[in-house]
Structure 1
Amino acid sequence: MADHQQQYDALCQEISEAAKLDGIQQLLEWDERTIMPAKAGTHRAEQVSLLAGLIHERRTSAKVGELLASLRDSPLAEDPHSDMGTTIRVLSREYERDSKLPQALVVELSKAKVLAQQVWVQARSGNNFPLFRPQLDNMLKLMRETADAIGYAESRYDALLDYYEPEAKTSEVAAALTALKDDLAPLVAEIAQSGRHPKMDILKRDYPIALQEEFGKRVAKEIGFDFEAGRLDVTHHPFCCGVGPHDCRITTRYDQNFFPSAFYSTLHEVGHGLYDQGLRSDQFGLPPGLAVSLGLHESQSRMWENMVGRSYPFWRHYYPELKKLFPSLGDTPMGDFHFAVNDVRPSLIRVEADEATYNLHIIIRFELEQALLSGDLPVADLPGAWNEKYQQLLGLSSDDDADGCLQDVHWSAGLIGYFPTYSLGNMYSAQLFDQAAIDLGDLAEMFRHGVFMPLLDWLREKVHQPGSCYPAPQLMQNICGESLDHRPLLKYLRTKYAPLYGIEH
């Protein structure tokens, strides 16, 4: 046992050092997407690719492989959900996967991601898809090579999806999203046919950016984000990254004449940040100190953004302060403001989509990226295919690729397989929110009085602290007594929209 303990400590040392290198890489990428000078891009790509190679080399070294082989059948691994058992189990799985990737491919891919994101910024700002097309072609080539090196049972997409939702299969995710779409369509139709519409001009008045930032930071702090262990900055596409224990970076983007843009992107990223800040720092870089899946991560961001931040009790608490900050609201009743931030109508922009149509945006991307990865959809045909799907599912199309296939940063960053986790997160969030209400009592009454810590503490205990000790489906079973189910999300949406639109509860 002593030998096994020494081997385990040596394994943790190797992986922890790799995690520190990864934190440095995350910091460089944060800097690139927030404050890096434009001309520094090429050298930044060299820096990031060097680090990516070092991290891959350390995590897939012969030493790590030997330590895992010695520990896999040891007494330390007997309980697969203990901290030690989880570390051995998860690292063994990741080692087997990542060891199949050639070092040269890892380095090339990391460099390509940095360069592609820089071109994407230029292409989006200039509405110039042809500028970005060679970068996307190259990124897809590298992602195909990655998937083929790893291997897959059913589809090439499975190999990439696994990075974000471990052990999930494309066919399973497609079935879950289809069931969700089939039940969402009637709800969206009922709302459209209701004839009710909020006064959207409320949100398009003058909202000075400095005051938006002040209000967003205040709310973030009051729902639990620790600004002594994190910060908020501006970027082209909001994101959250964890540099290390007590260093969580979140970002947003502001529009002086559209209040929801920054406020809800801030709340979304705060949700991610709360998860990162809730992980156990003594297990940093090791599976017990890491989020179990992107679906669970997204459940946190979507819960705080929507189930908390768009709720009537939330605005009963914060609206008086909002009116003091922004004179443009005048004597606008709180009910009108609440209706406006819960407006349901098809739109082109995913990050500004309402809760009812949001998942249709995800389904479009999920289907398109599978076709791009397989080669069935040539990159040159992406703008047309994008508009065709938007016309089919949302009744909209645009000649402006900046609001079309260039609106998201994900593909430029090689995040193929990431998009479906947003919808998984929406479904998980509704199930978790229901269970929290059962365990904690009247959440609405708490929010009305600005009391958010009971919910955060519950999430810390149930979701954050376990880290990756249980796979996502099992963790959901442990917390809620049920597996992934879209019906709680539909129930939540109907309950919210029934009084606003006069539809069936």
Structure 2
Amino acid sequence: MNSYEETYDLVTSHVREAAILESIQELLEWDERTKMPAAGGNYRADQAAYVAGLEHRKQTDPRLGEWLTELAESPLAADQSGDTGTVIRHLRREYDKQTRKPQKLVEELTRAAVEGQQIWAAARKANNFAAFQPILEKMVDLKKQEAAALGFETTPYDPLLDDYEPGESTENIAHVLSNLRDALVPLVQAIAESGQRPDVSILERTYPADAQESFGKQAAAAICFDFTAGRLDSTDHPFCCMLGPNDVRLTTRYDEHWFSDCFFSILHEAGHGIYDQGLPAEHYGLPTGEYVSLGIHESQSRLWENQVGRSRAFWEHFFPSAQQAFPQALGDVTREAFYGAINDVRPSLIRVEADEVTYNLHILIRFELEKALLEDQLSVADLPGAWDEKYMHYLGVASPTADDGVLQDVHWSAGLFGYFPTYALGNLYSAQFFGQAQEDLGDLDAQFRRGEFSNLREWLREKIHRHGKRYSAAELAERITGKPLSHQALIQQLSVKYGELYGL
């Protein structure tokens, strides 16, 4: 073994230890949001901050910087998309970012995120933004400090966005979202003017929570989420996390009088989980075993939730099972009436319950607001009013209560600024990937009608999952579809589907 290989082994051993610490962080967060008693929040913040400090010291160890400097000019780095080249390239980039952040700031951000999520949950339950305002002000200030430490040329939003979409820029995101908005608005208007309204009361009948859990797990398993290497639990705000190879946790929430909330969140989180389970387990802890970006991760969840789970073909297979699971709610309902109800399009207040046509307008609102907070164009105190103004402007609705308005999302309490745009990017990528899969795999609808989803899962694993971070999100889209990221595939799919549903 030559000296470069020995150094490379030191690097991989070091970062795998950091990955263990990260997985402990994930476990602490999963427990906090699913099982931990409310009174445990203060000490959990101390635990999380301590582990975050250990992880940051590991990530910024000067020895790691020396090793990576040595490897950067070595033959192991020559092929930037090869195993060793991918690892060296991404670790060097991440090391440079982490060493710019003071450890005290990292620990403060972690502590504030734990406290913030606890305060947010209580404030949302009490419909009391004033109770949440102080911790949000603290979090915004900490994120500004983080952006300043990382450095930026144009906007403090850029370095925070980079955490989720490496190499992406705020300017490009704004451009992409504005193009999408301009194409969506006339489609939403045409649907509204069609005069057709599905009977959504079908979804508001009684759906027992235990039956929702059983049916949701049945569907998640059918689309190839492996429950021998994962589980499903309940939480206030659904999420998916990976605690390590063969340990992926899904969560959902149950409303016995709204079918879609639980079922589609299970499909959505299962899509995330399928991606996590498809990453090469032998590369866990290394860039070759990590997801590309949150936009690509979100493309997997939105693909299974929308392109598959809201399709007519999916329900031609699953509707009889749904009637068996919920005989009182669906016994007298036709499949077409149910299909129309789950694809109802109308402006709404709640992002996670929004239809796939208006969903991205919810994202645009959050992107504009958090960008304004970071650029000192909006104060936290004025956030509720600004929220309502934008909802009225973009969707024509405003919430009379904060719990269905500015307090509905957990993200800002956890310090996830720059995260929201990845949802919209995920919708765009998912449409392009699904369109290509249809070309490559033939009649996917016919396969879905037969309950066959493994071909699509294997296509995604081959094209996306197995590559880890070898390619950027933009490069991956080009490699798979031959086209750059665009709103056109999504608009085309939505226009065809909803043109048929609403007679456009």
State TM-score, norm by structure 1.
0.99
Output the amino acid matched with 2:444: L
> Deviations along 1:195-238, whole A, 9 cap, x unmatched?
00001111000111100000000111111111111110000000
Output the amino acid matched with 1:48: A
Please tell me whether residue 272 in structure 1 is matched to residue 272 in structure 2: yes
SS in 1 for 2:227: coil
Q: How far apart, CA to CA, are the structure 1 residues paired with 2:339 and 2:431?
A: 20
Q: How far apart, CA to CA, are the structure 1 residues paired with 2:323 and 2:363?
A: 34
Match for residue 225 of structure 2? 225
SS in 1 for 2:332: coil
Residue 380 of structure 1 deviates from its aligned partner by: 0.5
Q: How far apart, CA to CA, are the structure 1 residues paired with 2:90 and 2:389?
A: 41
Q: How far apart, CA to CA, are the structure 1 residues paired with 2:333 and 2:472?
A: 47
Residue 152 of structure 1 deviates from its aligned partner by: 1.2
- Identity rate, percent: 55
Match for residue 368 of structure 2? 367
Match for residue 20 of structure 2? 20
Residues matched between the structures, number? 503
Q: How far apart, CA to CA, are the structure 2 residues paired with 1:152 and 1:248?
A: 35
Q: How far apart, CA to CA, are the structure 2 residues paired with 1:346 and 1:310?
A: 18
Match for residue 34 of structure 2? 34
Q: How far apart, CA to CA, are the structure 2 residues paired with 1:340 and 1:471?
A: 37
Match for residue 61 of structure 1? 61
Q: How far apart, CA to CA, are the structure 2 residues paired with 1:56 and 1:259?
A: 42
Q: How far apart, CA to CA, are the structure 2 residues paired with 1:325 and 1:291?
A: 35
Match for residue 111 of structure 1? 111
SS in 2 for 1:155: coil
Q: How far apart, CA to CA, are the structure 1 residues paired with 2:296 and 2:325?
A: 34
Residue 52 of structure 1 deviates from its aligned partner by: 0.3
1:15-414 → structure 2 map (5 Å cutoff): 15-327=15-327, 328-414=329-415
Q: How far apart, CA to CA, are the structure 2 residues paired with 1:499 and 1:105?
A: 53
Residue 251 of structure 1 deviates from its aligned partner by: 0.3
Output the amino acid matched with 2:175: A
> Deviations along 1:286-341, whole A, 9 cap, x unmatched?
10100010000000000000110000000000001111111221221100000000
Q: How far apart, CA to CA, are the structure 2 residues paired with 1:474 and 1:361?
A: 27
Q: How far apart, CA to CA, are the structure 2 residues paired with 1:140 and 1:360?
A: 23
> Deviations along 1:83-142, whole A, 9 cap, x unmatched?
100000001011111100001000111011000000000000110000000010000000
SS in 1 for 2:384: helix
Q: How far apart, CA to CA, are the structure 2 residues paired with 1:303 and 1:496?
A: 15
> Deviations along 1:460-484, whole A, 9 cap, x unmatched?
0101000100111011111111110
Residue 277 of structure 1 deviates from its aligned partner by: 0.4
Q: How far apart, CA to CA, are the structure 2 residues paired with 1:479 and 1:467?
A: 14
Q: How far apart, CA to CA, are the structure 2 residues paired with 1:480 and 1:154?
A: 31
Structure 1 stretches lacking a partner, 5+ long:
none
Q: C-alpha root-mean-square deviation of aligned residues, in Å? A: 0.6
Q: How far apart, CA to CA, are the structure 1 residues paired with 2:303 and 2:459?
A: 13
SS in 1 for 2:277: helix
Residue 147 of structure 1 deviates from its aligned partner by: 0.4
Please tell me whether residue 451 in structure 1 is matched to residue 452 in structure 2: yes
SS in 1 for 2:467: coil
Q: How far apart, CA to CA, are the structure 2 residues paired with 1:242 and 1:324?
A: 32
Output the amino acid matched with 1:105: L
> Deviations along 1:352-375, whole A, 9 cap, x unmatched?
000110000000000000011112
Output the amino acid matched with 1:331: D
1:420-431 → structure 2 map (5 Å cutoff): 420-431=421-432
Match for residue 489 of structure 2? 488
SS in 2 for 1:251: strand
SS in 2 for 1:198: coil
Q: How far apart, CA to CA, are the structure 1 residues paired with 2:64 and 2:155?
A: 29
Output the amino acid matched with 2:485: L
> Deviations along 1:173-214, whole A, 9 cap, x unmatched?
000000000000000000000000001111000111100000
Q: How far apart, CA to CA, are the structure 2 residues paired with 1:413 and 1:266?
A: 22
SS in 2 for 1:228: helix
SS in 2 for 1:16: helix
SS in 2 for 1:248: strand
Output the amino acid matched with 2:208: P
> Deviations along 1:242-276, whole A, 9 cap, x unmatched?
11000001100000011000000111100100000
Q: How far apart, CA to CA, are the structure 2 residues paired with 1:185 and 1:288?
A: 40
Q: How far apart, CA to CA, are the structure 1 residues paired with 2:31 and 2:398?
A: 34
Output the amino acid matched with 1:197: R
Output the amino acid matched with 2:2: A
